[in-house]
Structure 1
Amino acid sequence: MEEYILLVDDETGILDMLEIVLKKEGFRNIKKAQSGKEAEKMIREFNPRLIVLDVMLPDVNGLEFCMELRKNSDVPVLFLTAKTSDYDKLTGFAMGGDDYITKPFNPMEVAARIKVQLKHQHMYSKTEHLNLLQFEDFTINKDSCEINRNGTVLDFTALEYSLLLYFAEHPNRIFTTAQLYENVWGQMNLGEEKTVVMHISRIRKKIEPEAEKPKYIHNIRGLGYKFIPHKKEAR
């Protein structure tokens, strides 16, 4: 089964430029759409492995498009936008985006970020041997790459899973946002602090009994973040 990357932007020049660069980087199955309606059709037909999505489309807001997509799919979404404020970036992550690149951009940077997303998606779907990390409020199943809480499998993106797993496998250590980005995203100087912070915020809402009073992922002021394991007691 072929795996496609879907590029969605109303500017033909941007689509063509990204297609050329991605093909030079070894990606062969690329589809292009210039509207939300066209993108919806291609998503149904080709089930893309990753979507590069412009925020301002002629018929729909890309943020709202992503929010609707998240109801049925966890496919990685990388936003492209001319909006550069922290508020706009945080909104993009809150709507379900996995990464955020502002225009104008270097197409090689887009290719690099796509590779990071696909790497983590591969890690997320890969199964090796049964390995459970059990905590008081949730369990990480490394065999199925699932987070389970109170008998329910939580909805995690590949990067959210990778970040939580990294914390869980390195308990009681303080990491700066730069270190987390380098170790989890696998790239240096391509992301911003807000990317890591927003992913941590989304994870807290899913695993913490009280997201406003974190039990597991603590912010150590001026230093970074630390995961404190509260192990589930054996019975």
Structure 2
Amino acid sequence: MDTVLIVEDDYHIAAPVKEFLENAGYKTVWSSTGFEALEDSELHDISIVLLDLMMPDLDGYGFLERFRLKSKVPVIIISAKIAVSDKVKGFELGADDYITKPFSLTELKTRIEYHLSKAAGYQQTENKVINFLGGLEYYPMSSEFYLNGEKLIFTSKEAEILSLLIKNKDKVLSKKDIYEIVWAEKELEGNNTITVHVKSIREKLKEDLKEPTFIETIWGKGYRFIGVRV
């Protein structure tokens, strides 16, 4: 059964959408803020996201930007914003579709079915394992890692951080970005959580800090994964 994440702070919109989709055979999860949605996306096996833009705490654009760093799950924006610039920004950040309010529930269901079908076809073509020079094997579906044939034992957060870096290969992610995506909450000033976790990951990867094979520190900016695929 596919699970739909509804990200909407207005109960009078979320409730009928939730009821309609559940009657149509979907499981639903409802989040009323961007950070709550990031957390729910970690706790549940989400198949597709319905995303409002104007929300408290972290708006839809902020959620989408962070969510796209870790997931390729389809995202349909549902918003009262009708300006072309708003739509363009949504697509640039990785949205798959854009519906303006008010909208038809029947049309919404049709669009959901289309994007789920498209995503299923994409998943069938994804590699089951990704290999890198240096002996690292990464299994995206299970977030398991092997180094020279030996399974690496990471904590759940360490595995999430390394998966996030790999999915954004060669892209610099700040400590703030990593923390807010993995922990789904705002980073507190002076927090050294990411530094500690990355250090542990590097030790398990047996990294040479002077000549890293996998994770490079970009001073003053963050970290990026530089592993070479084979």
TM-score, structure 2 normalization: 0.52
Rounded to whole Å, the distance in 2 between the matches of 1:145 and 1:90 is 31
For residue 61 of structure 2, what is the aligned residue in structure 1? 63
Q: How does 1:187-206 map to 2 (within 5 A)?
A: none
What aligned pairs does 1:148-159 form with structure 2 within 5 A after superposition? none
C-alpha separation in 2, matches of 1:72 and 1:37: 14
CA distance in structure 2 between the aligned counterparts of 1:98 and 1:46, rounded to whole angstroms: 20
Q: 1:182 aligns to what?
A: none
Change (3 A) 1:99 1:81: same
How many Å separate the matches in 1 of 2:69 and 2:36?
19
What is the alpha-carbon distance in structure 2 between the residues aligned to residue 4 and residue 19 of structure 1?
11
Q: Does 1:86 align with 2:106?
A: no
Does the C-alpha gap of structure 1 residues 144 and 31 become closer, same or farther in structure 2, counting only changes over 3 Å?
closer
Mapped pair 1:23 → 2:22: yes
* 2:3 aligned residue: 4
Contact persistence 2:34–2:62 (CA under 8 A) = no
| 1:113 and 2:111 aligned | yes
**38, 48, 51: which is aligned to 2:49?**
51
1:25 maps to amino acid? A
* Structure 1 residue aligned with 2:75: 77
Distance 1:24 1:37, change over 3 A: same
User: d(CA) in 2 for partners of 1:23 and 1:49?
Assistant: 14
- Tell me, what secondary structure is at the counterpart of 1:66? helix
In the alignment, structure 2 segments of 5+ residues that lack a partner are 129-230
Q: Residue 12 of structure 2 corresponds to which residue in structure 1?
A: 13
Number of residues of Structure 1 aligned to a counterpart in Structure 2: 128
CA distance in 2, matches of 1:47, 1:59: 23
The one-letter code sitting in structure 1 at the alignment partner of 2:19 is I
Residues in 1 aligned to 2:63 and 2:106: alpha-carbon distance in whole angstroms: 25
Query: Which secondary structure state, in structure 2, belongs to the residue aligned with residue 78 of structure 1?
Result: strand
Q: Give the letter for the 1:54 counterpart.
A: D
Contact kept? 1:21, 1:108, Cα under 8 Å: no
**Alpha-carbon distance in 1 for matches of 2:42, 2:25:** 24
Structure 2 counterpart of 1:57, one-letter code: M
1:6 to partner: Cα distance: 0.6
- Computed over aligned residues only, the root mean square deviation of the Cα atoms, in angstroms, reads 1.8
Contact kept, 8 Å, 1:78 with 1:99, in 2: the verdict is yes
User: SS state of the match for residue 121, structure 1?
Assistant: helix
Corresponding residue number in structure 2 for 1:97 = 95
Contact 1:124 1:145 in 2 (8 A): no
1:26: Cα distance to partner? Answer: 2.1
Provide closer, same or farther for how the CA distance between residues 102 and 16 of structure 1 changes in structure 2, counting only shifts above 3 A: same
Q: Distance in 2 between matches of 1:125 and 1:92?
A: 23
* Cα displacement (A) at 1:23: 2.0
1:10 partner SS: coil
Cα shift at 1:44: 1.0
CA distance in 2, matches of 1:26, 1:72: 27
| d(CA) in 2 for partners of 1:24, 1:47 | 19
CA contact under 8 A between 1:55 and 1:61: conserved in structure 2? yes
Over 3 Å counting, the alpha-carbon distance change for 1:145 and 1:115 in structure 2 is farther
The 2-side partners of 1:12 and 1:144 are apart by: 37
Deviation at residue 35 of structure 1 after TM alignment: 0.8
Check the 8 A contact 2:76/2:96 in 1, yes or no. Answer: yes
Distance in 1 between the 2:32 and 2:62 partners?
Answer: 16
The 2-side partners of 1:48 and 1:71 are apart by 15
